[in-house]
Amino acid sequence: EGVETRFIAHKADRRSSAVVLGIEPPDRFPLTYYRENCADIGLNINDVLETPITDSRVLLITGTGLSKEPSRNATLFAAETAHGSGVPVVLDIDFRPDQWDDPRAFGVILRSVLRLVDIVVGTDDEINATMLTDSSQVSLTHSQVSDAHVSGDTDVAIQRFLELGPNVLAQKRGAAGATVHLAKNGSLEKIDVPGFPVQVSNILGAGDAFASGFLYGFVKGWDWYRTTRLANACGAILVTKHGCANFMPTYDEVMTFIQDHDGF
């Protein structure tokens, strides 16, 4: 696919992480993660120094990357490096309760990094999780870590996000599509972008597919509506599949899908 791989760090003393997905039609998709001593959490500041962040068009960081050391410091250092060089920083909130000792710690850490972030991507529950101060706000459904519900006033949380550093927040809304919230000259603007009606077979990887489409549109300089429409399409295609990364749509596939569903 033409993706540069030479900057991927190797951790000989660590394991590749894995996830087991259960599919219980019509709407249950329980996940079990195997992340003990996993390689990605072993990323450190030296690994970051080996990468061309300052020459990049965008840096994507995740909430899970901030969950444990040394990855937490490496992620913060990468964001600081990018921000200081004028490289846009995108945060995928990625709230996984089982990766944190305390759900309140998730909010503390993510709020601390927002000063370095330009764009945020997350669901209502993830947006609320970033601003939570009471662990009773979190409840786990039958899908456990893949479907944690976090109560709260999402509109207030979005406003707080945009006061703490980011100027764009993409609110993922499932079948309803997504809403892009923009902070402009002291005022807030929002853009509602419809989703695509599909038969859901599996939700694993939908967020990654959305982020991929969103980043593609962003680095291509597209407007927010078109960018988010592409992101919605990528997520919609993936949820019809019985897999994750190997089933991510190609550019031609997603463009055909969009044209077959009323276009941009």
What's residue 89's pLDDT? 99
Sign of the alpha-carbon torsion through 184, 162, 229, 262: negative
What's residue 33's pLDDT? 84
- Name the stretches of the chain with pLDDT < 50: none
How many domains is the chain built from? 1
Full domain range(s) for residue 264:
195-264
Instruction: Establish if 258 belongs to a structural domain.
Output: yes
* Packing angle of the helix pair 103-113, 71-84 (nearest 10 deg): 20
Instruction: Establish if 250 belongs to a structural domain.
Output: yes
Instruction: Establish if 28 belongs to a structural domain.
Output: no
What's residue 141's pLDDT? 66
Instruction: Establish if 25 belongs to a structural domain.
Output: no
Query: At 139, which helix (H) or strand (E)?
Result: strand 138-140
Instruction: Establish if 217 belongs to a structural domain.
Output: yes
Instruction: Establish if 228 belongs to a structural domain.
Output: yes
Instruction: Establish if 18 belongs to a structural domain.
Output: no
Q: What is the pLDDT of residues 19-66, one digit of tens each?
A: 888 888 877 888 888 899 999 999 999 999 999 999 999 999 999 999
CA distance 217 to 206: 17
Instruction: Establish if 214 belongs to a structural domain.
Output: yes
